[in-house]
Amino acid sequence: MKNKYIFGAFIIVVFLGFMVYLFTQSNIKYESNFAKVMNENKIVRATGTWVKDKNYVIDRNNQTFTFYITDSNGNQMKVIYDGMMPNNFESAKSVVVTGQYKDGYFHASSILTKCPSKYEGQNTPDVKTSNL
């Protein structure tokens, strides 16, 4: 009988630990001002635009992808991602990187790209309706 209570308590502790983990993962702040990103001591999601003039570097030996992004204020930030370049990176309209700024650059654990929609800039025909 005592083993059932111990097992039940263990299940509850594991469940609560999992819930705390999920809550802390969803509590990541979005930031579009890189001055604030550089002063944060926690994981953030930084939103910006790829600086095409500085190009990018793919290091296949170390499996890293390095590039620069800029915010709406013109602040630039170097990003190093532990992984390979996303397929649609070069056509991305904006980039969202998740990670932490330290040692003079942003250490990204993930990259999300927002690509232009294939429907942008298209003229849609006027729809006429009639009452029957």
pLDDT at 130: 43
Length of the chain: 132
Residue among 117, 112, 85, 103 at smallest CA distance from 30: 112
Is 0.75 topped by the overall pTM? no
- CA–CA separation, 96 and 51 (whole Å): 13
29-114: CATH superfamily: Nucleic acid-binding proteins (2.40.50.140)
Whole-number pLDDT of residue 88: 86
pLDDT (tens, 9 = 90+) of the chain, 132 residues, equals 678 888 888 899 998 888 877 766 656 777 788 988 888 888 889 999 999 999 899 999 999 999 999 998 999 999 999 998 988 888 888 999 999 999 999 999 999 998 766 555 555 454 444 454
Looking at residue 91, what is its pLDDT? 86
Question: Hey, which residues does 30 pair with through a beta bridge?
Answer: 45
